[in-house]
Amino acid sequence: MTTIRRFCCNDLLRFAAVNLDHLTETFNMSFYMTYLARWPDYFHVAEGPGNRIMGYIMGKVEGQGESWHGHVTAVTVAPEYRRQQLAKKLMNLLEDISDNIDKAFFVDLFVRASNAPAIKMYEKLGYVIYRRVLRYYSGEEDGLDMRKALSRDVEKKSIIPLKRPVTPDELEYD
Amino acid sequence: MASKFGLAGGIPERKVRPIWDAIDSRQFKNALKHVSTLLAKHPNSPYALALKALVLERMGKPDEALSVALNAKELLYANDSLLMDDLTLSTLQIVFQRLDHLDLATGCYEHACSKFPSNLELMMGLFNCYVREYSFVKQQQTAIKMYKHYQQVGEEKERFLLWAVCSIQLQVLCGSGEDKLLFLAEGLLKKHVASHSLHEPEALMIYISILERQAKFGDALEILSGKLGSLLQIEVDKLRMQGRLLARAGDYTAAADIFHKILESCPDDWESFLHYLGCLLEDESIWCDETVNDPVHPPKFVNDQVSHLTDEQFDGQISIASACVQKLQADTINNLIRCPYLATIEIERRKHLRGKGNDDNLMDGVVQYFCRFGHLACFTSDVEMFVEVLTTDKKAELLEKLMKTRDSLSAPLTKTLGLSISFFKIKQLLLGDMSKSSASDLEVSCVQMFEMYCKNLPLSKDMDPQESMHGEELLSMICNILVQLFWRTQNVGYLVEAIMVLEFGLAIQRYVSQYKILLLHLYSHCGALSVAHEWYKSLEVKNILMESILHHILPQMLVSPLWTELNNLLKDYLKFMDDHFRESADLTFLAYRHRNYSKVIEFVQFKDRLQHSSQYLVARVETSILQLKQNADNIEEEEGVLQSLKCGIQFLELSKEVGSKSLTFNEDLQSRPWWTPTSEKNYLLGPFEGISYYPREILTKDRETSLKRVIEKKSLLPRMIYLSIQSASASIKEHVEVNGSVTPDIISELKLLLECYAQLLGFSLTEAIEVVMGFSNGERSCVVSDSNLIDWLNFTVFLNAWSLSSHELVQPDGNGCRPRIWNILDSMLEKYILEKVRFQEPQLCSPWSGMELLMQLVTEPLAWHGLVIQSCLRSCFPSGKKKKKSGLAYQSSMNLTKAITDSVVHLSHVLEDVLTWITEWNKRPEDEHLENILLLLRKDGHNDGPGEVFHILETFISSMNDAELGDRISQSLKSWSPADVFRKMMTGKLKVLTEFSAICESKLKLFNSMKQQIAQL
């Protein structure tokens, strides 16, 4: 029971139930607002009956040439609305926009190497581990760069896994 | 910043690069060195000077930075031959902005644009300046100029037009512009579209919103269905827009068709279903705008509107809706789609509201929903709005049906657990306040739930420690019932038991925010505020969450002696808000640049919303009051604080204007426990009464009125304290210098503020004075209660200070020169402080509200009164040489000295008594405290009362099976003990008392030193 619509500033005052979850980061204002100001179609919220915020996804589109891609910055669902495949719905929406509107080659995301449940979920959604990023999280934990090819990448070149891990300063984008 | 290279003011890029590099890597000393070298060669280059100013500002030298920046500006203005490049200007702009002189930056750009009127880059810089200053009219004018200058057609030109259009819309929505300005915006767009069409989806959205705002729905629809409509690439967004416009235009049939279409492609879209149904029933209320519905707290359900349809029409439309829903159900074999099933219940609810309801159908709908989705955590919140329409009997019947259904369903273990949890939750909901259930029934429920929790723990044994566990909600529900039992029986054992259950849960899973919030309120209620604060900190509330979550802890902290922690909370929060206000305009400009025009409007409105935040205003006032409290024992330091507050003038202005401001409430009240639905309300402090805590709709308007009064009153304080100090010292000088004159301004201003203060208490000044005088016979006045006691005492303190130098009111009583009000004030302070001490049982878990009041008495009115006394005394000892006094003056000052002495002696005794009481408290051995708490939970053969759940908890821990629970859970339980929780509770409470004791000691020290001073006179 999900109305998915664009995220707006007022939602920042309504997402406490989602963000009090300890794995969900509450970023500073300029971070959220930069995403809203630049990629409003990549920032969506799911609302349930009684106008409750169920979860949201924020992302962006960037890159040059064949690296032009959608990126998932955060996807999160309130505890009350878990186990209903809401994250999948939100991810599919972002993939559709990257694929159909922005004609991107792939969608990628970063996940903590220790976050087994999340990695499993992304794999189910068709993402593969493209490369490992050493000490990506606060210089401590490794991150995994996971990717899913879109229709424009006919030969699925973008998701051929790299043989060696990279360091954060080798990353092309923030 | 490193991108700002170029040939600026004739300086080659390679010379400038090291400066920017040093700035970017925060090596400011190094940067300054480079700048000095540069300036040696180009002493009159505005760019070099601007760079120097920037470096100085970053080094924390704002005054020097400003003077250098002004120098650069002058050179820029003076020399016509100098190039006005954007690089110099934007560098200066950064400096001026950081120095809070936006006007100077704007001035530079205005000057540059007047010199080079066709330079587009400079004009964009100027537009940006106006965005920063929120000057919507000037933004519009500049954008129009750019639009006209820009000869090329296409997206660039369109951009400037939309900048102008947005600026117009902002004048109407956020400024004082009238609606008719929108017509102008519409005209601009129409003309542009005719010659150049539109290229951006956001431009179209703005166009539509301008038409919609003018109620030109038909025009908007025409544009949307025309060629321009194809700009909107997300089809469902376009359909939603169309549906809304059609409905607002009154074409409900067409609107319903559109929403039907949406439902076909998104059958789970609940909002679209509500719109669909609303259109079928021709209900226009769902389209009312944000002035009616607060977008941050939207209503939970569609209210009952009397539909103008005839019965026949109504039935017809309902059957259309039902048919649609049935088809949706048939089409969606995926059973995770909830909407079509909830829709059935909504249709029944609407029939009910129309007086055509059939309870059995509605109940069947809920039961079916339970069968399909009862195992989901959101089941109860999904259906809560529907069961509201049932009568109490019907609710009981529904419960019966649900129970039978639950018992008959067979499902895997986790699903069965989910169903049971939903059943318990809906039971709480259907039974409302639970006041109809007997205490023992409620206890049985708690026991069942707790056993269920324990029994199902093995389900979570292999889970990631960060994942939420199965059955987590059971413990919160148990806590809710135990607190209800406490309210009913006043047996604090239930509170302790509730705390224990939640602490137990957190020992197993340390991330459950719901437990932490409940705990922080329970600990606050018991007075263990430092523990409450620890749990708050563990929630890691930061950034925008502070605006919605801080209310859980802030009100308690404001009246506590935990000043350091309070100061940190306030400081972090204000920093976040002020940082946002500073950077918000830059982000708005980012939205302009990226052509996301709807976000431009949204950002400005959001900033306005935060600026009017009630919590923000409270925090600003309270930060100053906290500083005043902290420094009240030293009048010189206090005067320093007052000086920094512009002698209280700033807040006086706030007090005056707050009445006409509309405040916003951004708290997330959903997360509050049932017993305190807002921070102003705590049911546990009053007698037991039946309340229904589902669903909670808070009356924002009422809150706004009362909160405004609080802010008005509090923001008078700094000024009144300042004036009281002045008045007291003037009174002594008058005595000393016999013919000296008292500053009349102070007296009249203080009187004026006393009038305001009295008014906020609900009285005229004369009436309020009568109330105060009435205290002289020692009786309790009927107008004074715990909730306004501090205000009355503060009023009396200021009244006393005023009466010292005003001859309008009070004559000295027979007892020397001591004014009567002074006597009354001292005895009131004594009476109320000692009363609180006497009635405060030294119980570890007793409610704490009496203590809060005691602490306020000491840290507010007593502290302010102490300042008045300090001021009097200081004037008796003029600095420098003592003047030789005439006989009369000597006598007069001796009389006042006696008055001061009496007061100091009197209040010292009061403080000593408080300290003795605290020491007694502290002296009790820890074991005695622990024993007392444990006694509250021990059953020892009694069948009623708290302790049942605790008993099972203890048994569970002592007999747990490591293999079943898994290492992680059993290890964390092994290192946990109830005695540690008791100890934590006690230490937490003692910490608060220790802080309070330190405050009292400091005041006592002050009074003692005043005694010594008097002795020297």
CATH architecture of B1-116: Alpha Horseshoe (1.25)
Q: Nearest C-alpha of chain B: how many angstroms from A107?
A: 19
Angle formed at CA B789 by CA B787 and CA B790, multiple of 5 degrees: 105
Please give the distance of CA B700 from its chain centroid, rounded to a whole number.
13
Point out which residues pair with B337 in neighbouring strands: none
The DSSP 8-state label assigned to residue B860 in this structure reads T
B411 touches chain A (CB under 8 A): no
More confidently predicted of B428 and A17: A17
SS3 A59: strand
| CA dihedral over B671, B675, B677, B682, signed as positive or negative | negative
Q: Are B654 and B617 in contact (CB under 8 A)?
A: yes
- Least CB-CB distance to B671: which of A4, A5, A16? A16
Integer angstrom CA distances of residue B891 from B816, B823, B1011: 10, 20, 19
The DSSP 8-state label assigned to residue A98 in this structure reads I
- Least CB-CB distance to B603: which of A9, A50, A80? A9
B 944-983: CB under 8 A from A = none
Q: What is the CA radius of gyration of chain A?
A: 16
Question: What is the pTM (predicted TM-score) of this model?
Answer: 0.93
Residue B987 region by backbone torsions, left for phi larger than 0, else alpha for psi between -120 and 50, else beta: alpha
CA distance B403 to B397: 10
The DSSP result for A111-154, as a single string, is EETT-HHHHHHHHHTT-EEEEEEEEEETTTEEEEEEEEE-TT-T
Amino acid at position B858, single letter = V
- Least CB-CB distance to A48: which of B270, B472, B695? B270
Q: Are B491 and B523 in contact (CB under 8 A)?
A: no
b or e along B85-96 (b: 16 or more beta carbons within 10 Å of the residue's beta carbon)? bbbbbbbbbbbb
- Least CB-CB distance to A29: which of B339, B543, B671? B543
Amino acid at position B489, single letter = T
pLDDT of residue B879: 55
Splitting chain B (1017 residues) into consecutive groups of 10 residues, what average pLDDT does each group show? 49 86 92 93 90 95 95 84 77 93 94 88 94 97 92 80 97 92 96 92 96 96 94 92 95 96 93 94 76 74 74 93 94 81 94 88 94 94 88 90 91 90 89 70 92 94 84 95 91 93 95 96 94 97 97 96 98 98 96 96 97 96 97 97 94 88 91 92 84 57 88 96 92 57 79 96 94 78 85 96 78 53 90 82 66 94 96 75 49 71 92 91 77 77 80 92 90 91 90 95 95 82
Kindly determine whether residue B269 and residue A3, on different chains, have CB atoms separated by under 8 Å.
yes
Angle formed at CA A36 by CA A22 and CA A39, multiple of 5 degrees: 110
Which residue has tokens 């700035």? B23
Closest CA in chain A for residue B272: A3
Measured between its terminal Cα atoms, the distance across chain B in Å is: 66
Domain boundaries, chain B: 1-116, 716-878+888-923+977-1017
Q: Are B1001 and B915 in contact (CB under 8 A)?
A: yes
Point out which residues pair with A55 in neighbouring strands: A46, A77
HSE, CB side, 13 Å, CA atoms: give it for residue B742.
25
B477 touches chain A (CB under 8 A): no
Closest CA in chain A for residue B536: A20
| CB-count exposure of residue A162 (10 Å: 0-12, 13-18, 19+) | exposed
Q: Are B35 and B18 in contact (CB under 8 A)?
A: no
The DSSP result for B189-210, as a single string, is HHHHHHHH----HHHHHHHHHH
B668 touches chain A (CB under 8 A): yes
Tokens (6 digits) for B701: 């308007």
Residue B260 region by backbone torsions, left for phi larger than 0, else alpha for psi between -120 and 50, else beta: alpha
The DSSP result for B609-623, as a single string, is HHHTBHHHHHHHHHH
- Least CB-CB distance to A40: which of B599, B609, B695? B599
Our CA dihedral for B635, B637, B638, B640, rounded to 10 degrees, sits at 130
Tokens (6 digits) for B899: 């008055």
CA distance B19 to B505: 56
pLDDT of residue B836: 82
The DSSP 8-state label assigned to residue B249 in this structure reads T
Kindly determine whether residue B590 and residue A34, on different chains, have CB atoms separated by under 8 Å.
yes
Kindly determine whether residue B467 and residue A37, on different chains, have CB atoms separated by under 8 Å.
no
Q: Nearest C-alpha of chain A: how many angstroms from B339?
A: 5
The DSSP result for B133-186, as a single string, is HT-HHHHHHHHHHHHHH--S-SHHHHHHHHHHHHHHHHHHHHSS--TTHHHHHH
The DSSP 8-state label assigned to residue A162 in this structure reads P
Q: Nearest C-alpha of chain A: how many angstroms from B542?
A: 7
Report chain B residues whose CB lies below 8 A from the CB of A8: 602
Amino acid at position B114, single letter = S
Residue B869: other Cβ atoms inside 10 A: 21
Q: Are B719 and B649 in contact (CB under 8 A)?
A: yes
SS (H, E, C) B806-848: CCCCCCECCCCCCEHHHHHHHHHHHHHHHHHHHHCCCCCCCCC
Q: Are B210 and B186 in contact (CB under 8 A)?
A: yes
**Which residues, 6 or more positions from A62, have their beta carbon under 8 angstroms from its beta carbon?**
A68, A69, A71, A173
Kindly determine whether residue A1 and residue B539, on different chains, have CB atoms separated by under 8 Å.
no
The DSSP 8-state label assigned to residue B776 in this structure reads G
Our CA dihedral for B566, B569, B572, B574, rounded to 10 degrees, sits at -80
**Which residues, 6 or more positions from B432, have their beta carbon under 8 angstroms from its beta carbon?**
B690, B692, B693, B694
b or e along B409-447 (b: 16 or more beta carbons within 10 Å of the residue's beta carbon)? eeeeeeeebbbbbbbbbbbbbbbebbeebebeebbebbe
Amino acid at position B217, single letter = F
Q: Which domains does chain A have, with CATH numbers?
A: 3-170 (3.40.630.30)
CA distance B602 to A159: 38
